[in-house]
Amino acid sequence: MTDIDPTLEAPPALDPAQQSLAEALRVSFGILKLAMLGLLIAYAFSGTFSVGSNEVALRLRFGDYVGDPGNRVLERGTYLAAPFPIEQVVKVDTRPATLSLEKEFWYETTKSDSGLTRAQLQGAKAQPLHPLRDGSLITGDSSIVHARWTLTWRVADPVAYLTNVGSQQVAEAIVRLVAQQGIVQSVAQLAADDMLRGIVNRELAVGLMQQRLDDMRTGLVIDQLVLDKVSAPMRVAGSFDAVTTAESDRAGQIVAAQQERARILGEAAGEASGPLLALVASYEQAVERGDGERATELEQQIDEALGSLRVGAVAIGGEVARVINAAKTYRTQIVEQVASEAQAFQQLLPQYQQNPRLVLSKLWEDAREGILTGDVETFYTVPGQLELQLNRDPELQKERQKEQLRSRKRAQEEAELNRG
């Protein structure tokens, strides 16, 4: 046990003000500890983040990617990362983006040109192209065309994109430059006529663009390239429009002619018009070549087709079938009529041989009865006199009457001249 020195005095007691200050400091320090603890907890959980459906995320730990090369990209979900500056989360938008090339290959336009018609534009833009203001493309046949394009691109490899590109603005600038190069090279392999008709090798253009993007390891992909509008230079646009109109008219006339041909052939032979026409064409070619054996074979096939009204399994219809059926019916009638007349002749021949006068008289009576039977008009004449009245040609009669009137008029004019 330690002895207490009696010479030491007890500490003086604190006054109320000092006690209040000490209590306030103690409480303040307690609140500060709680606040620091809360801040520490908030800092520990500040790395929590979520990834949406149209984006991906990458974690960087002291500037380096976190995870294996195949597991660095974080897709939709909620994740936890170490707080900054230990780790940094970078999100990449993977939605397709649209880029329009409206001025790069198009002639210069102003606000006042927006309300002009094409004919008015041709008059206003008939000046030579200015290389600094007017965009254009040179085709494979050394012609000039104007075009407007739209392409769609997206981020396919977020790691390569973030490493070598870094931002949406830089990516758009790269895609624009690459698209210009691909379009120029692909159009340089086309003819101007094909280009003006909208015939474009999009696979070649997109392939050239994608190759350059892959060479730069941008992680970008071109999905689609669309030719929005194409035009010839305004100085020659009228001539190109005339050619286009003529080609459209030509195509329309060809279609109309083909439709008319199909209609005529259909009316002529129905569904069998095509095979029957092919047989006839082959027969004519064989005759022109002098191939008699082949011509004879084809002629037999044509005869068989017309006789059976079938070409293979297809029935012949239309006017051909009608004419052939009418001919067959007429042939049957003629054969029956001739057979009937022959039978009647065979029956009359024995009688005629026995009494010719009687048979002839009977035949004359039958003929007279046949002539006078039915709608017959009878004319009566004075006994001993026979007068025939025949109707003249109405047109000839009119011409004769006109000639008579003209003759009378000339005679009257001559008479008046003689009196004068």
| C-alpha span between 244 and 196 (Å, rounded) | 9
| Below-70 pLDDT ranges, the chain | 1-15, 38-47, 82, 110-128, 237-239, 374-382, 384-393, 418-420
Query: Does the pTM exceed 0.75?
Result: no
Please state which architecture CATH assigns to domain 97-109+122-235. 2-Layer Sandwich (3.30)
Among 140, 247, 279, 280, residue whose Cα is nearest residue 204: 140
Q: Are 334 and 323 in contact (CB under 8 A)?
A: no
CA triplet 405, 406, 409: central angle to 5 degrees?
90
What confidence score (pLDDT) does residue 46 get?
57
Q: DSSP letter string over 359-383?
A: HHHHHHHHHHHHHHSSS-------T
CB-CB neighbours of 109 under 10 Å: 15
What confidence score (pLDDT) does residue 1 get?
46
**Which phi and psi angles does 81 have, rounded to 5°?**
-125, 160
Helix (H) or strand (E) holding 155: strand 144-155
What confidence score (pLDDT) does residue 401 get?
83
Q: What is the pLDDT of residues 76-97, one digit of tens each?
A: 877 777 677 777 888 888 899 9
CA triplet 83, 85, 91: central angle to 5 degrees?
75
Helix (H, G, I), strand (E, B) or coil at 138: strand
Q: What is the pLDDT of residues 15-44, one digit of tens each?
A: 677 777 777 777 777 787 777 776 666 665
**What tokens were used for 324?**
């052939």
**What tokens were used for 210?**
């994608």
Among 116, 98, 183, 173, residue whose Cα is nearest residue 146: 183
